Amino acid sequence: MKVLILSPKGRYDLYAPDCPSRREAELIFRDRTGTEEEWLAAGADAQVLVVTPVTHIRRELIGQMPNLRLIQCDGVGFDRIDLEAAWQRGIYVCNNAGCNAGAVAELAVTLMSMLLHRTLWGDRMMKAGLHSQATQTLERNVPPDLSVSHVGLVGLGHIALATAQRLRVNGSRVSYYARHRRTAEEEAALGVSYLPLYELAEQCDVISLHLPATAESRHLLDREFFAHVKPGAFLVNTARGAIIDDDALCQAVRSGRIAGVALDAYEPEPAGADHPLVRLAAEFPDRIILCPHQGGVSQAAFRNAVRMVFENLDHILAGERPERVINGL
């Protein structure tokens, strides 16, 4: 079995488990930033294509790989793969849902705490030699922390559940919105309560996004959503940039309705200096935290991801259905 992997070889060398597909499959590595021509020259006849969540896999590329049986994303996101083209060919598309849940949840909660504690402002004040002034300001306007905050999770998948678990340890009240509500028993066990989207916006001190990028979630946070947001609330996005209407967010920040924002995802990516949210951060340096989509970049996440890739390679090698199929086959 031939496998074309558009991901760093060093990561697979470091974390690959001892399993049949590692021993028996022909693994060919190419740079994900290369051209489709380079990829096809190396592995047009591959049975499996392994890609990162940021790699565009177009219908035209799929059409030039006649032996393809599986497109495996080695992360969670799959919005850059032509799912319909794969479905029409009977090619499985799978992701690694849950592989980075702990790492992304850890970053999400960290960003919430940084916003609540005005960390960027405090850092700037200290670097300017204004320690006493900063202390006096905080004593006059004592900030809240997670223990007294109502946090709203938009989405309730693997990462949101890991986030909720960490928030409960901090004493936060946790609500969620999702297209499919959990049962009352599940909500009680998870320690979360359901709110419709706009009610969540109106009631929560912190809103944290945990949705994939789909046609349904695109610009879910639009001008109407921000009109319902509790004045002075904070927003954290460690999911996908497409969930937010950037113009609407900029307006909400400039008006003061949103007190602070922490972002680890953008539309498009990479986000250059001319991206509206990068410009917004320059305009409000104490209120906007920008991260380079790093939430899922951790040793544990990479180890989990590589293990899950090889589990599905083993399934294909054995003629079995892979796990975590996302394109309806």
Active-site residue, selected from the candidate residues 187, 199, 202, 269: 269
Active-site residue, selected from the candidate residues 240, 275, 287, 324: 240
Calpha distance 247→269 (Å, rounded): 16
Provide the token pair at 207: 């809103």
| Per-residue buried b or exposed e for 245-277, using 16+ beta carbons within 10 Å of the residue's own CB | bbebbbebbeeebbbbbbbbbbbeeebeeebeb
269 is catalytic: yes
Active-site residue, selected from the candidate residues 118, 173, 287, 293: 293
Say if CB 6 and CB 52 are below 8 A apart.
Answer: yes
Say if CB 69 and CB 329 are below 8 A apart.
Answer: no
254 is catalytic: no
User: Sign of dihedral through CA atoms 128, 133, 136, 137?
Assistant: negative
- DSSP state for residue 269 in the 8-state scheme: S
Calpha distance 265→41 (Å, rounded): 32
DSSP 30-57: --TTS-HHHHHHHHTT-SEEEE-TT--B
How far is residue 261 from each of residues 119, 177, 232, 282, 326, measured CA to CA in Å?
Answer: 12, 19, 11, 13, 31
DSSP 80-107: TB-HHHHHHHT-EEE--TTTTHHHHHHH
The number of CA neighbours under 13 Å toward the Cβ of 156 is 23
Q: Is 295 exposed, middle or buried (0-12, 13-18, 19+ CB in 10 A)?
A: buried
H/E stretch holding 279 reads helix 276-283
Residues annotated as catalytic (active site), given as ranges? 240, 269, 293
